[in-house]
Chains A and B, each alone.
Chain A
């Protein structure tokens, strides 16, 4: 919940304060009132654009971030392009943290994306300088607002609503820039802020501090950049001080991220530290070499055709150059940086029963929220696997090995029963509750096709819990008859353990293989093998009673426990079908079409019994 929560909690009060300030100053200083109103509009526009991109890009942005980050250069490039397109580094940060939590991306890649994102965010300055100030912005703002308002009336799909939000956001941003520009222009007629310009390093330090504080207060470096550029365009600040303010804005944004990361998990905190280190190093380099950088900007500006008096575009160029230099300076040390980050915020104590992947920051992102739920359900299954295995008095490593199943059931985990209730309370109950709670909250932002998948995932969670409860019922007699002198009942209970061990092993293979035919074969076999527990139909119980091999009491226990084993198998197979076949994959559709039906299971099982 890095930037998002803090941003959300402070965003509304900041806008209200700006608007109140604007109203209060309307009579006394109408120009300052116009500037404050412009900033408020800019922030509202940014919020509209961010929420619009969330709805419009859907899972696309998340897919891009997930797939094009395999190497550091790729990650930097992806960070740059995605931020330049969505114009929101905070949105990229939210997705990155959720990806880190869900282990869909490495910390090295995430740090690379943050570096690229820092360069990408400089495009805002270019857009404001190149378009925001050079043209009559309100001419474009109004049509955008009108189109944005009418689109949802005509087209109901969430994609169109997202596009509408982006257009409304852009329109409001343009209006905001227009008001800021107007405010600074009229302000110049009354007060000339340029008289407070400070030369030398003292001026640089003061203006860096002002830029940083302004960004921390208004929670948006883009808004600070908009103020700096409009003030520079109207001559309210001089170019040298604007450069220092820009460096300050870059530093200020990391303070916001660091503060917000206090609420986030360890991955969010590590990423915020990486962001802070990167921006601080970049800021120090920019302050130390500010005059050389300004010369470089002059040289490059002339080279790419920016006029020597066009200070706003030169400022945008400066912003990009010092961030690029920062990336070039820090990137070679990315491995060392990540190694250092991994030593920070190591969780204390066991987290087995605590959610690892659920983060409220991803709730507005349906695809990522669903991925988080899938990962957490897998975490729940891992815990359940341990409980079921030990509840059946089996060793986990034996199940995961290729050891013969007859030997697996002989090698007991312990001489006494394990307290399943205790493990359930510590490892399952809270986690299950958290998954269901998170799912309910995530559902609000999900389109129907995701809700359908979410429903299946909820059922998979329930299946896992039911399987544990079934194991608890089984455990008592399992231990009792496993040490029985009656070899026939012992053989039956060993067969139950063997069957469930085989199923757990198959699920482990299903979870780790990419071979579709193997997955389909194992799931079908598991369904057929579950029929072995139907001891009434297959005649096992009848044979044992008729021949007097077991007592009536044993028969009743065996009948009940076979039913539990059957239900555990059914629960685990249903869970595996949902959890270990990728949602939306071709295999999922094909498995539904050509997987074997219940009737076919019975036919094959019956044939097997008579072989």
Chain B
């Protein structure tokens, strides 16, 4: 058995094959949790404020966070699909 093949079989035996992907999944989930929390707080602030300038800023932040959540979810689905 070649060295590369040996390392590969050890990795799969120990379940280390998807180690990087698992790590990425975990980090992504954590980040999505934070982003969702932030989205909720921005939405609440947006409802509460009457100031036009502040509203503009909050809307912009909401757009960014919403986009990031959407992209994050898409990557997470892909990671699960791979599994």
Known: A589-B24, A593-B75. A608 touches B56 (CB 8 A): yes
Q: Is the CB of B63 within 8 A of A594?
A: no
* A155 interfacial by beta-carbon distance below 8 Å: yes
Most buried by A among B3, B68, B75: B68
Known: A155-B3, A594-B68. A521 touches B61 (CB 8 A): yes
* B16 interfacial by beta-carbon distance below 8 Å: no
Compute how far the CA of A595 lies from the CA of B68 in the bound complex, rounded to whole angstroms: 7
Query: How far apart are B79's CB and chain A's nearest CB, in angstroms?
Result: 11
Known: A586-B23, A596-B67, A600-B67. A525 touches B61 (CB 8 A): yes
B17-74 residues with Cβ-Cβ distance < 8 A to A are 23-24, 27-28, 30-31, 34-35, 38, 55-56, 59-61, 63-65, 67-68, 71-72
* A158 interfacial by beta-carbon distance below 8 Å: no
Query: How far apart are A531's CB and chain B's nearest CB, in angstroms?
Result: 11
**Number of B interface residues, CB 8 Å?**
23
Q: Is the CB of A594 within 8 A of B3?
A: no
A109-125 residues with Cβ-Cβ distance < 8 A to B are none
Most buried by B among A517, A525, A607: A517
Q: Is the CB of B64 within 8 A of A524?
A: yes
Which residues on B sit within 8 Å (CB–CB) of A587?
Answer: 27, 31
Q: Is the CB of A611 within 8 A of B34?
A: no
CB contacts between A and B, total, < 8 Å: 60
**Number of A interface residues, CB 8 Å?**
22
Q: For chain A, what secondary structure do more than half of its interface residues adopt (helix, strand, loop), or is it mixed? A: helix
Known: A517-B38, A590-B27, A604-B63. A524 touches B68 (CB 8 A): yes
Q: Is the CB of B28 within 8 A of A596?
A: no
Query: Which of the residues A515, A586, A594, A608 comes within 8 Å of B71, measured between beta carbons?
Result: A594
Known: A516-B31, A516-B34, A586-B27. A611 touches B56 (CB 8 A): yes
Query: How far apart are A502's CB and chain B's nearest CB, in angstroms?
Result: 11
Q: Which residue of B lies closest to A529 (CB)?
A: B60
Which residues on A sit within 8 Å (CB–CB) of B38?
Answer: 517, 521
Q: Is the CB of B64 within 8 A of A525?
A: yes
Q: Which residue of B lies closest to A527 (CB)?
A: B64
Which residues on A sit within 8 Å (CB–CB) of B30?
Answer: 516
Compute how far the CA of A89 lies from the CA of B28 in the bound complex, rounded to whole angstroms: 41
Which residues on B sit within 8 Å (CB–CB) of A524?
Answer: 64, 68
List 29 A-B pairs, Cβ < 8 Å.
A155-B3, A516-B34, A517-B31, A520-B31, A521-B38, A525-B60, A525-B64, A586-B23, A586-B24, A587-B27, A587-B31, A589-B27, A590-B24, A590-B28, A590-B31, A593-B71, A593-B72, A593-B75, A594-B31, A594-B68, A594-B75, A596-B64, A596-B67, A600-B67, A604-B60, A607-B63, A608-B59, A608-B60, A611-B56
Which A positions have Cβ atoms within 8 angstroms of B? 155, 515-517, 520-521, 524-525, 528, 586-587, 589-590, 593-596, 600, 604, 607-608, 611
Task: Known A-B contacts: A590-B31, A604-B63, A604-B64. Give 15 more (CB < 8 A).
Answer: A155-B3, A517-B34, A528-B60, A528-B64, A586-B23, A587-B27, A590-B72, A594-B31, A594-B75, A596-B68, A600-B67, A608-B59, A608-B60, A611-B55, A611-B56
Which B positions have Cβ atoms within 8 angstroms of A? 3, 23-24, 27-28, 30-31, 34-35, 38, 55-56, 59-61, 63-65, 67-68, 71-72, 75
The 10 closest A-B pairs by CB, nearest first: A586-B27, A594-B71, A517-B34, A524-B64, A594-B72, A604-B63, A594-B68, A611-B56, A517-B35, A608-B60
